[in-house]
């Protein structure tokens, strides 16, 4: 498979980036620190399943892993397109699909290997000496967390496919990070405040609007981890509507993995380079 060669090359070259290495060390350190802190601060059972819902761990992943995904993905296509390397690469026996799949897989492996190792160490810290291992649930947590990183890598690669300007790709990729990770809650709160001020709503956003805001990939990840894996309540506060279920959140989460890349690839596969 041609994309395997591209993935291997992307993995080897991307992992040498100093910025990526520092971010990976920061993420790994946060995961390991969470594994050390959880047995010290928890008032409940000390299991790796409960650890998956530890707020310090999930918040660190929310911010850092999403940022790593964007850093890895935003220049994947556009940098080679502007330098002319993309035309040369496609003159070899590689298709555009090979190129996209190889870049997403190779760059995702950069953070996936470090993340899996860090979570393995963190899990060991939780288990030893008095905790217990919920292996199946913890593996599910690791898989969902890796997929969360792939979502942001894929989103950045998608933006990189849609433009021939590196500046536009940078603004788009980091703008999406800022929107989904940094200011999403502020946008929701501002809208709620504005609608309440003019008397259109009372006691929170209507379920339809709350559902739209719940489709943020950061919130989907948190709901899946809290509600399905850690055994807590991942539903939207104040609503028990069926469309706020964790299982529907899982479907939407998978859609974030597939849809942006698919739509961007359909555009990229027919555009002139």
Mean pLDDT of 148-155: 98
Q: Is the peptide bond before 230 cis (omega within 30 degrees of 0)?
A: no
Q: pLDDT, tens digit, for every residue of 156-170?
A: 999 999 999 999 999
Q: Which two tokens stand for residue 121?
A: 């160490």
Mean pLDDT of 76-105: 90
Mean pLDDT of 181-196: 93
Give the bridge partners for 97, in sequence order: none
Q: Is position 273 within any domain?
A: no
Model pTM? 0.94
Q: Is position 21 within any domain?
A: yes
What does the pLDDT read at residue 233? 53
Helix (H, G, I), strand (E, B) or coil at 158: helix
Q: Is position 39 within any domain?
A: yes
Q: Is position 15 within any domain?
A: yes
Mean pLDDT of 77-95: 87
Q: How far apart are CA 173 and CA 14, in angstroms?
A: 17
Q: Is position 61 within any domain?
A: yes
Q: How far apart are CA 266 and CA 72, in angstroms?
A: 22
Q: Is position 91 within any domain?
A: yes
Contact 41, 133 (CB under 8 A): no
Higher-confidence position of 76 and 92: 76
Q: How far apart are CA 57 and CA 225, in angstroms?
A: 11
Q: Is position 174 within any domain?
A: yes
Q: Which two tokens stand for residue 74?
A: 């935003």
Domain span at residue 74?
A: 2-268
Counting the structural domains of the chain, the total is 1
- Check pLDDT > 90 for residue 120: yes
- Check pLDDT > 60 for residue 236: no
Say which range, 51-60, 84-93, 146-155, 261-270, has the weakest mean pLDDT: 84-93
Contact 5, 104 (CB under 8 A): no
Mean pLDDT of 109-124: 98
Q: Is position 58 within any domain?
A: yes
């Amino acid at each position: 498979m041609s994309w395997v060669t591209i993935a291997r090359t992307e993995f080897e070259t991307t992992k040498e980036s100093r910025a990526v290495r520092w971010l990976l060390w920061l993420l790994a350190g946060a995961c390991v620190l969470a594994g050390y802190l959880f047995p010290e601060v928890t008032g409940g059972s000390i299991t790796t399943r409960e650890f998956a819902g530890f707020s310090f761990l999930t918040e660190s992943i929310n911010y850092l892993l999403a940022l790593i995904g964007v850093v890895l993905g935003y220049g994947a296509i556009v940098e080679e397109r502007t330098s002319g390397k993309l035309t040369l690469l496609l003159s070899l026996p590689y298709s555009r699909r090979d190129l996209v799949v190889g870049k997403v897989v190779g760059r995702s492996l950069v953070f996936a290997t470090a993340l899996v190792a860090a979570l393995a160490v963190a899990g060991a810290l939780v288990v030893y000496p008095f905790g217990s291992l919920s292996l199946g649930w913890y593996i599910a947590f690791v898989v969902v967390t890796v997929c969360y990183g792939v979502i942001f890598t894929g989103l950045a690669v998608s933006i990189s496919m849609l433009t021939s300007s590196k500046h536009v790709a940078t603004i788009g990729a980091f703008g999406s990070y800022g929107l989904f990770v940094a200011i999403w809650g502020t946008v929701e709160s501002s809208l709620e405040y504005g609608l309440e001020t003019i008397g259109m709503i009372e006691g929170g956003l209507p379920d339809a609007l709350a559902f739209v805001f719940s489709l943020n990939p950061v919130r989907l990840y948190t709901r899946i981890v809290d509600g399905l894996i850690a055994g807590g309540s991942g539903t939207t506060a104040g609503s028990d509507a069926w469309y706020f279920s964790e299982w529907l959140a899982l479907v939407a989460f998978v859609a974030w993995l597939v849809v942006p890349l698919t739509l961007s690839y359909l555009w990229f596969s027919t555009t002139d380079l």
